[in-house]
Amino acid sequence: MAPAPSIEDLLRRMAPEVLGAVVRRYGHFDLAEDAVQEALLTASRQWSPGAIPESPRGWLITVASRRLIDLLRADASRREREHAAAQWALVEQPVAPAELHVTGSDDTLILLFMCAHPALSLSSQIALTLRAVGGLTTAEIARAFLVPEATISRRITRAKQTVTASHVPFRVPPADERQERLKAVQHALYLIFNEGYVATSGQNLHRVELTAEAIRLTRLLHRLIQQDVEVAGLLALMLLTDARRAARAAPDGALIPMARQDRGLWDERLITEGVALVTEAMRRGPVGPYQLQAAIAALHDESRDLEGTDWPQIHALYEVLLELDENPVVRLNHAVALAMVDGPRAGLEALSELEADPRIAGDHRLHAVRGHLLEMAGEKAEARESYLTAAKQATSLAQQRYLNGQAALLVS
């Protein structure tokens, strides 16, 4: 059984609902967000397991609203000082009858869309999503990305100002923009997951688990729009990738490729959930890039060993993916699948086309795959050269040690 949610979990779950309620009532997205953060902080100091207000959400909305009013008054008196003639009054914005029926979930969805606002850079979208929807503090976000707190703080402040200045009404985007915006939301969540997954060294014990946070927010999004099959695909992809996490690195931080991972360490529960999600999504269709990547991850996760992997099926899925999303990393993976089906020579031939692509020609992954395929083909000396080139181009020590290790094994 899962342990009872902690106060921190409770607060983070409520963060977007409270912010939504306050913004809906008073507007002023940027100040409202500050006010909600302060209310959450107050709650985390004052609440204890036996002493949680009867309506935690109502308590938070009240405290945040009061705080917002203080902030608005301070803002107003500053303006008055600056412009003697400033006229300012704090008026509650009238609430349209239809909006009286909105729920916290609707607000959370609107916030997700707002945080993926097209005027914001990707890094701002990510920071704002983690704070406004994820309920993380600026310090936690800064630690997660290993950047100074001041950097994240400025990024969030500017992002909020941009959103406020854009005067987007606080509601779900109109139908014609919705699909584009939803893509941006998914992309931001995908990047949060990836950042957490790729970070191998984990220098900091306080590092908030970005993968877990990305999964939590994607689950939320999936719950809010069950009918979107790509959101389901994204969630499945995250679960099926995260399932392999424990097997992915040795105790010294060295990377272990899938071929050599101890499959007993893979998380069965995540695999079962991810497979069910992607199967159902693909049955409903239409198919999209996240579903295809999830389906590929599922085929890997479901096979007991490398040899038993359904490579023809994986190869076919990569073919479809290439049609939807022509990108060099997909081509690289496609070449590996091709090699597993038709032999290393076929894979190497596919790679040679990629070597002319400036988007990936200098990338260590291209040379690492080349080394691997040459090794499969029995070309030891050439494989060794490719591994050494890949090691030279890799920037992380863990990758370099892995690639140099592969080269060292090929001393004839």
Partner 1 sequence: MKYMILTHASQQDYDAMAGKPGDRSVWSADDFAAMVAFMRAFNSELAESGELVETRGLGAPAHARRIQPGEGAHVVTDGPYAESQEVLAGYWIVECESFDRATEIAARLSSCPGPAAVRARASADVRPIEEHVPDRET
Alpha carbons within 13 angstroms on the beta-carbon side of residue 409 total 10
Given the rule CB under 8 A, which of 2-10, 34-42, 140-148, 260-268 is the region that contacts partner 1?
140-148
Q: Does 412 bind partner 1 (CB under 8 A)?
A: no
Q: Is 253 in the site for partner 1 (CB under 8 A)?
A: yes
Residue 188 is encoded by which pair of tokens?
Answer: 């931001």
At its nearest, how many Å lie between partner 1 and the CB of residue 75? 13
143 binding partner 1? (CB under 8 A): yes
CA distance 42 to 398: 41
Using the rule CB under 8 A, is 58 a contact of partner 1?
A: no
The reply to whether 74 sits near partner 1 by the rule CB under 8 A is no
Separation between Cα atoms, residue 243 and residue 270, nearest integer Å: 6
Distances (CA, A) of 207 to 125, 143, 147, 195: 20, 6, 11, 12
Instruction: Tell me the helix, strand and coil percentages in the chain, rounded to 5.
Output: 70, 0, 30
By beta-carbon proximity to partner 1, the closer residue of 265 and 408 is: 408
Measured from the CB atom, the residue of 62 and 157 that comes closer to partner 1 is 157
Rg, the chain, Cα only: 25
H or E stretch covering 16: helix 7-26
- Minimum CB separation of residue 143 from partner 1 in Å reads 8
Q: How far apart are CA 205 and CA 143, in angstroms?
A: 10
Q: Is 155 in the site for partner 1 (CB under 8 A)?
A: no
Choosing from 2, 89, 100, 411, the residue that interacts with partner 1 (CB under 8 A) is 411
Query: How far is residue 90's CA from residue 36's CA, in Å, rounded to a whole number?
Result: 18
Q: Write out the binding residues for partner 1, residues 388-407 only, by CB under 8 A.
A: 388, 391-392, 395, 397, 400-401, 404-405, 407
Which of 202, 257, 312, 343 binds partner 1 (CB under 8 A)? It is 202
Which residue's CB is nearer to partner 1, number 121 or number 201? 201
Query: By CB under 8 A, is residue 1 in contact with partner 1?
Result: no
- Residue 250 CB, shortest distance to partner 1, in Å, is 8
By the 8 A CB rule, do 407 and 384 touch?
A: yes
Q: Is 408 in the site for partner 1 (CB under 8 A)?
A: yes
Minimum distance from residue 121 beta carbon to partner 1 (Å): 21
Q: What is the DSSP track for 70-90? A: HHHHHHHHHHHHH-TT-----
Q: Which residues bind partner 1 (CB under 8 A)?
A: 143, 146-148, 201-206, 250-254, 388, 391-392, 395, 397, 400-401, 404-405, 407-408, 411
